[in-house]
Every structure is written in C-alpha cells, then in structure tokens.
Chain A
Amino acid sequence: MTPHHSPTSGAGRALDLPALARTALYRDVWGGRVPAGVEDAPPVSVWQWRRHVHTEARRSLTGAPAVWVLYPIPGDDPIWIPLGPADIETGAALVGTTIAAAGVTPGDTVLAVAPGAPVAGNLLPYLLSSADRLRSFDAPTSVQGVSVFPLSLSTVGYKPDLVVFPLSRRPSVIAGTSADVAGLMELARRAGVTPPRFRLALLVTPPAGLHDAELADATANLLYLPGLFAPIGGRPGRPEVWLPAETATAELIRDDEWGRAVRDLSRVPAIRALTETQGESGELVITVHNAALPVVRMRTAIRVRVAEPGPTGAWLEILSRAPGRAADPVAAFTPAPNHSLRSGSGQANRR
C-alpha cells in the first residue's frame, strides 16, 4: 500500500489513505473503501467528526495527541480536534510569516483579546509573541521583538481596571474578534480610559473583519481553520486571507451546489478545486495533514469567495452574508461581547 502524496500536504507530511480508511471516522465517512486520492474522498461533516472523535477518539487517532483544541464552527457546535507535537510545531513555524504579512512589525506592542481555553484562539497571544518557544527548529521568518498583553473579556469584564496599564503602554496593535475588540474598548471607557487609535487591528473572522477607521489605521484579518494550530491571515487593507498551499488544501462547495444538497439530502455535493472556482463563493472544504488525526475534506461551514487561487495558495474573502437570506447566519451566532464566554453554550464564533 503506497501512501497518497498530495502536492499541498501540510509541512510535507503525506496522507496514508489506506491507514486512514481503517479508522472509525474515515471508515464511516468513506463507506469502508480506500479513496484513490484525496480528490476521490467524500467530505466529512462536523457531525460525523463529532460522532466519532467526540465519543470514542481512540478508534480514530492516527498519532499521539499533544493537545486537544476546540474549534468554533459557524452556526453549529464547536468540534474538538487533536494536534500532535509535529502539528503544533508546523503551526508555530508558520505563524511568524502570517503575522509579519498581516503587518505586525518588530517593536509592536499588541493588545490581544483572547477567549478562554480550549477555544482555538486562546493561544493567539503567545503565538504572536513567543511562537519560537513551540519549535525545536528555526523557522525561516518570525517577528521578533513583539510584546503582548493577553486579555480575556471574561476577566476584564469583572475587573475593568485591568485594561488601564496595558493601554498606558501605548499598544500599536489590537487583535481579537470584532465583538471582543469592541467589548474591550467599551470596558476601557468604563475604566475611565479613552481607547487609543491603533496602527493595526488584527480581526479574527468570521464574521468578516470590517475596517473601523476609529479603531485603527489599517485592518488585517485572521482566520482559524479546523485542524490548524495557528491562524492564517491577510494583509493590511485587504478583505481577504491568504491560505498557503503548504498549510492546508482548500476546495469549494459552490453556493448552487449547496442549494441542491439541501433539496436532495442523498446528494453528495460536488467539491471543486479552487483553481476552477475563481470569483465564485461557497463553503470552504479543507484538508490538513495532521499527524494526530488528519482532517480530510472537512466541510467547515465557513463561506468564502475565491478571490485569487494559485499554485502556492489562495486569497479567500470571508463572507458573512449568504445570498437570499433574510438574516446573517454568522452574525446571528456572534455573541454579545460580555456573553461570549459563557459556559458550554456551544455558540459559534468563539475565537
């Protein structure tokens, strides 16, 4: 049995499809057969993932996990994904490039509004400042000299004066979800501090991080994808995020396909390569070659427009509004700032 080698496998790891087909998760998803390649594999839904990984993980693991992370799924309950040591190192190696491209520079002081663990995004403050400590090798690029104030709304909401000292250090960058950032600014006002104007806002999407001229000179987006230890990111002033091909393989279920699948539940929606769908929108499907448990063609429930696909990666615009819907399905699940971390509510968008 020859392992299948994908040209876009994360960190050069190959997917051993026959071995994966023996795991409880993929045996169920793939109907007991071994796909000829990733492009031949049926997609895995979050509920299939939950049914197997959340209840009997040991029958699906392909490597030893070092940590379990809870990934928010728009409009749905979050999912647990295991990451092995190599998966963590891969993420830590990439994060320096991501945040440098997003506009963070040496000497920046970052106010990072983070959710409580185990939600993906909890480690963002440390990844911003200290990703090198999570690697046993030197990454080609990392941002040195970044100093981070980690803050959580659940803590600052109880004690607003916690925000006074960080703001007195003249932070140049603020990071977090739009809701959390807005919540923190409100708490700062309550503590008697006028929120400063930042040089850069790193907004975790979805919902789409919209530029707020009062908040920052420029905005760049960050996106956590299920299975990635570190977020991917955009560039200041661009509404898209860049998904490097070396990080994950991305594909698309086009909007029209999504509609057909709703009308006919037995239909497996067609999944297209991004290069075939330039300018189109739909649900993002990703493959991440993690060692602990690869994520193979997972339907993320994240709706994107494929802006610029290419051999080294793709620019993806995160959409917050599905065409023809009366309400924004993503924003509808966005918690109010001071309710974003309630116990076990399972709401989406907790980054």
Chain B
Amino acid sequence: MLDPAIEAAPLGDLRALEDRHLGDGLISFAARSALYRDHWSDAGVTPAAVRKYEDLQRLPYVRGADLREAWRRHPDAMICDPDVRAWFATSGTTGLPKWTPYGPAELALVEEIVHRAYYILVQRPGVFRCTIIATPAPFVSDAGAFALLASHVAARLPVEYLIASPTEAEATLRFLRTRPPTAIVGFPSILLRIAEGIADEAPTQARLAWRRQPSAATLAAVLATKLMRIKPRHLFKPEVGLFGGEPLAPYRQALHETWGLQALELYAMTEYPCFHLECREQAGMHLWADKCIPEIIPLAELEREDDDPAYVPAARHVFDATAGMQGEFVFTSFGRALPLVRYRTGDVIEVVDTARCACGRTHPRIRVRGRRDDLVNLGLIRFSTAELDQRLGAISGIGSWQLRIVRRGYKPQPILYLVPLGIERPSLAADAGRALDSIEALKLGVDNGLVLAPDIKIVPEIHDVLTWSGKRKRVIQEAPE
C-alpha cells in the first residue's frame, strides 16, 4: 500500500477529510465558474455557507449536458484556476465531446493514483514491465501514460513502460517478444481483438521466422502453430492486467484464457482524472474517497424522477449506502481547473461493500452496472438510441422496433427486431441494414472486429420489456453490459 494512513483510514476520518475540503472553501472556489453561478443563484445557495456534507446536499446537481451548455454560453468564464496545462475530450457518445481542463493539481492527482495502482499490481520485488495500450489524443489515456512516467520517474520505481496505441499494435507486439510484460493495461475488447490478431498471424510469422533463421526453435514454432491456436499467453505470459473504458465482466474470463493473466478492473472518466480500481481481492473497485465526495442516487429515487421530471432525487453518501444498493454515481471533485460539484455521471453503480476490504483498504468498493442515459452500449462502442431512432424513422414501413444486445462469446451483437407497418416491403430488412451501417460508431466497431455484425429480424410483434416504472424499453441488454 502506498499510503496506509489514507488508504486504510477509517471511514470517519475520510469523511472528516472531505468536510475539511468543504470547510476550506471548496464551494466558494468552484463558484468562480459560470457552470455554477446561475444554478446556485437560482437555488438560493450561498457558496461560503457550504462547509460540511450536510450543506453540500442542498446544492443542485450538474450533468454532462449542463457542462456542454455552460461551455457554449460562457466559454471564457468556466475555469476556476487559469493554470491549465492540457485539455482532454470525451468521445461524445451522448452529444458533442466534452473537453476538460487539467491543471497541475489534476496531473498530480493522476500521478498519485497510478502510484497507488503500482502497489496493487506489483506483488514481488524486481523489475516490473508494464505495457499500456492507450487511445490516442485527445482521449485521456495518453495523459495517463504521461502521469505514469512522471510518477515513476520521480519515485525511481523499477518500472519499465511500453506505451502503445492500437494503431501501432503490430510493431509493439513484435517487440514485446523481446521484453515480455508483467502487466498489461488497456481496454478489454481491444486486448481480446489483439489476441485474435495474434492467433491469426502466428502461423505466417512462424513460417517467416523459420525461413529467415532455420533452427530447432523456429521449426518448433511452426509445428506449434499447426497443432494449436496461438494465444498471447503462449508468447508473453503477463501476470496481471488492468482494464477500463468498458465493463470488464463480459471479458474477464476470456482475458484470463487468452492472456493468462489476472484481470483487474478500473473505473475512470475524463471529467475527473481519479481512477478507482480493483485490488487483488477482486471484491469491487475501491472508490478513492479521499479524492472526491462520493454519493449515490438510489434506483428508487431515479424511478421517481423518471415518473416526474420535476422531482429532484435525493442522493446519499456512499459511506451510508447498504451493501448491494444500486444507483447513479454522483461525485464532488477536489479539482482546481474546474471542480465538479455534485456531478451526475450517468453511471449506475452497485455499492459492493463499505466494510474494510481483505486487502486492508477501507475505501468503499463498487461495481459499475450500466448507464442511465439513452445509450446503446456495446462496450467501447456506444451510440445514442435517439440516433438509431432517427435513422430507422427515415425508413418507411416500420411500425415499431426493438434492439436486443446479446453476446456470442465475449463479443456483443445487436439484433434489431422490426414490426412492419402494414404489408412488409421486400427491401425493408436491407434498408434497415443500411441504416445501421450509417451509424458511424457501430460501423467502426464492426469493421474493427469489436462488435459482431448486426442481425435484423422482421417479426409480427415485439415482446415488450418494461422498466420498473412501466415504460417500454426499446434497447434491451440480454447480456451484461
């Protein structure tokens, strides 16, 4: 553990730490941003009066849409601290990409958290080789790699990094034969796609190696590729993997089988660079409660909000949640460039436990169960239901539709059920196929082998699936998200 005084602190101490941030004027500082000015003014909030958690609960929530709108209306009045070093973007699956400013405090936060991660990942002395498959800028994972370097260079930890983008996977994998990694960090679906590529390429590469340098070893390699399908674990033997960007559950077993590693999950977002991660006990991801004030809006409250949009759902501190409680994750960050106060993430989490973990850490453990918003969630590949509805709406002859997400192995496959309006047109399925193909994110996922090609079924009627509050669901996850 990097810092037992913090990571294993009693929850009461962590709560006191959070109150200290509030007492030190966190909300007054955040009030510099136009993001909050109108919201708080309308709600009658006096920022200086918010000095403890009970006061914070009176503040209105903010959402991603509020962020986008505030940036649009007040582009020069959003930042609380002008020392912004870098900007990173979300992918913009729910609208335009959201850009987030990072200053020294945000960069230092990532460095500290990756340092904590080091003590989770590394279990024995010696050189630790870590390969990171990061997404290219402006996504934040490149910056995460920078923070790793900064943190470990400063601490002189014996870590050897190889940071790669999926676009450079081939050159990277070839080199990894020389420097096999102890740990892999990346997106579960990308790492499995890479595993497929390795299996497909292995026979050709083995033959080339034999031709270049005939030896017993290269001949054995050729024979091996004839006898079995080569998996990354045959070549690299990493011990542990840290995976984020999409839920790990559908991929965990496949990652173990193909890469031969223990797969740990992390939960991160661009808006606040504090990533929460699973320890070796694998009993949920530790939510770093010294770096934010974590809250949860229970499902029942969310349902009431669904029924009555004017209703403001109540959140409770994650420390006060019962084990198993599910709801939307809300947090207040301690950032400097643009602190987020009561930010509704749209992510539905489950509080696994708030008791001390077997690893000794006290920070509550969570799992991410899905999204609140109107997304078709295929892991890394996401697009809005509204976009799908718009594309299908442009086709004549569709009475109603339903999209079910199933999994074949670990890969998601969308199955679109269509009920024709009146007599079925012969080209209906083909038109719908073209409509799906025109959704760029989906096409990207299919073209890159991350998602199986959609199937279209014309049916006389659709079996409705309802939400708790009785609304009809048009996108149904049959497999875990």
Contacts and interface: CB of A to CB of B under 8 A. Distances in A.
Interface of A: 54-57, 64-68, 70, 78, 80, 85, 88-89, 112, 114-119, 122-123, 125-126, 129-130, 133-134, 136, 145-152, 154-156, 158-159, 161-162, 164-166, 168-169, 341-344, 346
Nearest to B135: A155
Interface of B: 71, 75, 83-89, 91-92, 96-97, 99, 101, 104, 107-108, 111, 127, 132, 134-139, 142-143, 145-147, 149-150, 152-154, 156, 158-172, 174-175, 178-179, 440, 444
Contact of A155 (B138, B170, B178): B138
Contacts of B99: 165-166
Counting from the closest, the 5 A-B pairs by CB-CB distance are A344-B170, A116-B165, A150-B137, A152-B136, A117-B163
A256 to B, nearest CB: 35
B167 A68 contact: no
A88, A136, A159 — most chain B CB neighbours (10 Å): A159
Given A65-B160, A147-B84, A341-B167, A54 B178 contact: yes
Nearest to A129: B85
Contacts of B160: 64-68
10 contacts: A66-B152, A68-B161, A68-B179, A114-B136, A117-B142, A117-B168, A118-B165, A147-B87, A154-B165, A344-B174
A159 to B, nearest CB: 7
A117 B145 contact: yes
A166 B161 contact: no
Contacts, number: 174
A238 B440 CA distance: 43
B161 A343 contact: no
A163 B444 CA distance: 19
B142 A343 contact: no
B171 A155 contact: no
A161 B135 contact: no
A125 B134 CA distance: 15
A64 B85 contact: no
B85 A148 contact: yes
A126 B146 contact: yes
A261 to B, nearest CB: 26
A159 B92 contact: yes
Contacts of A159: 91-92, 97
Nearest to A80: B175
Given A151-B137, A152-B138, A67 B161 contact: yes
Given A125-B86, A148-B86, A134 B161 contact: no
A343 B169 contact: yes
A161 B167 contact: no
B339 to A, nearest CB: 18
Contacts of A168: 75
B167 A342 contact: yes
Given A67-B160, A155-B137, 16 more contacts: A66-B153, A68-B162, A68-B175, A85-B156, A116-B165, A117-B134, A118-B164, A119-B168, A122-B163, A147-B84, A155-B139, A159-B97, A161-B92, A165-B71, A343-B166, A343-B170
